[in-house]
Amino acid sequence: MKIASWNINSVRFRIGIVEQFLREQAPDILCLQETKVIDPDFPHAPFEALGYRHNFINGQRMHHGVAILSKVPLVEDDRLDWQANGEARHLGVRLPNGVRLENVYVPAGGDIPDRELNPKFGQKLDFIERMTRWSESLRGPAILTGDFNIAPLECDVWNHKALLDVVSHTPVEVAALGGLQAAHGWVDLGRSFIAAPERYYTWWSYRAKDWEASDRGRRLDHMWASPEVARAATAHRVHEPCRSWIKPSDHVPIVTEFDF
């Protein structure tokens, strides 16, 4: 079982590179974030043509939105709203073997890392806190993946010191993410296979003139698993070349293979 996660930054605008990725990597399941499309306008046909016939979508107008496209039958569990503001940021399904698959788009949190000056930063921390409470009560084997919008380790960013005050790498966010991870004993599959201190990024800003040359990346996208599920993981890859494809997302896909 091959499971991929990708913040696509508009599934309609980038349907061409989504198809290319699915043809080349053929994951059994693809979790998307930032689909940026209401459910009636979701482009189902390209996925069905490639064999993805078990599709679950949770979209909204303009922003956010998540989807799970699958070759294997899935059962939807829930779509949670940890901010209680109606934003489409989660979709939970169950795999044929009963393992839960949770696809999440964590709020970016704005530019200023101060909840008094920037309410979005507070919402991001509150979102993580509510996810932590949910995570504590979660029973059974599960996979938690998506764009967490936090790069926790020093080697998850191009310059640790330069980014200590930059939203996505501040100590308060890293501590919150650590609390979430501890709340279910989540295993960080990315770092299980690409161990620290090796460089590992999944996002490069559009604003760099040459993303590859400057390489100012961050690891914002993650795939975590319950300990028993993590033991079944056999491979994990990050597909950096996708950042150079035509009309790229600023994120690249991550893929984990499981022996089930």
**DSSP-based three-state secondary structure for 55:** strand
Question: Which residue of 26, 49, 62, 117 would you call a contact of DNA, by CB under 7 A?
Answer: 62
Query: Based on CB atoms, which residue is closest to DNA, 11 or 74?
Result: 11
**Residue 10 binds DNA, judged by CB under 7 A:** yes
Residue with tokens 């330069």: 162
In whole angstroms, the minimum distance from the beta carbon of 143 to DNA comes to: 23
Task: Tell me which of 5, 9, 132, 202 binds DNA, using CB under 7 A.
Answer: 9
Scan for tokens 């996810």, then name that residue.
131
Q: How far is the CB of 107 from DNA (least distance, A)?
A: 6
Q: C-beta of 163: minimal distance to DNA in Å? A: 9
Residue 108 in the binding site for DNA (CB under 7 A): yes
How many residues can be counted in the chain? 260
d(CA 217, CA 156): 8
CB-wise, 39 or 136, nearer to DNA?
Answer: 39
DSSP 8-state secondary structure symbol assigned to residue 157: B
Contacts of 142 (CB under 8 A, 6+ apart): 99, 100, 101, 102, 184, 225, 226, 229
Q: What end-to-end distance do the CA atoms of the chain give, in Å?
A: 6
**Residue 117 interacts with DNA (CB under 7 A): yes or no:** no
Among 24, 63, 199, 244, binds DNA (CB under 7 A): 63
Nearer to DNA, 208 or 238 (CB): 208
State the Cα torsion 197-114-59-50 to the nearest 10°: -10
Q: Which residues bind DNA (CB under 7 A)?
A: 9-10, 12-14, 34, 36-38, 61-64, 107-108, 110-111, 120, 205-208, 214, 216, 247
